[in-house]
Amino acid sequence: MKLKTILAASVATSIGIGAVAHTGATGIVLERMQAMSAMGDAVKSVTPIMKGEQNYDADTVRKAAAVFEEHAGTAMTELFPEDNANEKSYVKDAIWEDWDEFERIAMRLETLAQGLSKAADNGLADEEAAQADMGSMMGGDTASMMGGDASGMMGGGSAETTLAEMADMPADEVFSELSRTCSTCHTRFRLEKD
């Protein structure tokens, strides 16, 4: 299942961040490592919920979303000034060479964090499937009872899912997109530890 693979990669990445963070870093490098560690901790707090290993807790999901929102967008890009490129860090030079893409990813992460907060009360996709099955047994499906078509929830095509669309999505689907965004950024802009 894609979600489990993404969640496993997110947990591995967040654990890796925590393991290398703070080793001799100072100043803004330390600040960004602390921000990344906070987001890694947020991922770890909701991963068991998203995998269905813990009872769903919308408040925990909202708290994790708030951590991401706090450290994403402009708050993230400000932690990567070009003049500290030579500081002890795990940042590839590509971050400054393709700044527009990094900035786009940081802003997207902020939108996804806001979307996760809005989707928190929606529960997990599997819960929606169970509700749909129950609705079918009662003579109708959940999507038609809600006046919509569930196939359109993802925003269709390759366009990015909007904040309004995320508000109607299951929380684990928004979290998956958030996790993919983190992984994309790490792949493009983060050095692997030797």
Q: What is the pLDDT of residue 141?
A: 36
Q: What is the pLDDT of residue 90?
A: 83
- Spatial separation of the C-alpha atoms in residues 165 and 185, rounded to whole Å: 23
- The conformational region for residue 24 under phi > 0 = left, psi -120 to 50 = alpha, else beta, is left
Structure tokens that stand for 67 in this block = 């951590």
Residue range of the domain that includes 11 = 2-80+87-129+152-189
Q: What is the pLDDT of residue 172?
A: 96
- Residue 5 pLDDT greater than 50, yes or no: no
Instruction: Flag whether the pTM goes above 0.85.
Output: no
Higher pLDDT, 88 or 192: 192
Q: What is the pLDDT of residue 185?
A: 95
Q: What is the pLDDT of residue 82?
A: 81
pLDDT tens column, 39-80:
999 999 999 999 999 999 999 999 999 999 999 999 999 999
- Asked whether residue 118 is domain-assigned, the answer is yes
Provide the residue type at 192 as one letter: E
- The conformational region for residue 57 under phi > 0 = left, psi -120 to 50 = alpha, else beta, is beta
By the 8 A CB rule, do 94 and 189 touch?
yes
- Please report, for the domain that includes residue 179, its CATH number: 1.20.120.10
- Spatial separation of the C-alpha atoms in residues 59 and 176, rounded to whole Å: 18
- Asked whether residue 8 is domain-assigned, the answer is yes
- Asked whether residue 145 is domain-assigned, the answer is no
- Residue 35 pLDDT greater than 50, yes or no: yes
Q: What is the pLDDT of residue 20?
A: 45
pLDDT tens column, 116-156:
999 999 999 976 454 444 344 334 433 332 233 333 333 33
The SS3 of residue 6 is helix
87 confidence band (pLDDT: 50, 70, 90) = low
- Asked whether residue 45 is domain-assigned, the answer is yes
Q: How many domains does the chain have?
A: 1
Computed over every residue of the chain, the mean pLDDT equals 78
- Asked whether residue 53 is domain-assigned, the answer is yes
Q: What is the pLDDT of residue 119?
A: 98
194 confidence band (pLDDT: 50, 70, 90) = low
pLDDT tens column, 163-173:
999 999 999 99
| Secondary structure (DSSP) of 133-156 | HHHHHTTS-HHHHTTS-GGGTT-S
- Spatial separation of the C-alpha atoms in residues 29 and 22, rounded to whole Å: 9
Q: What is the pLDDT of residue 152?
A: 34
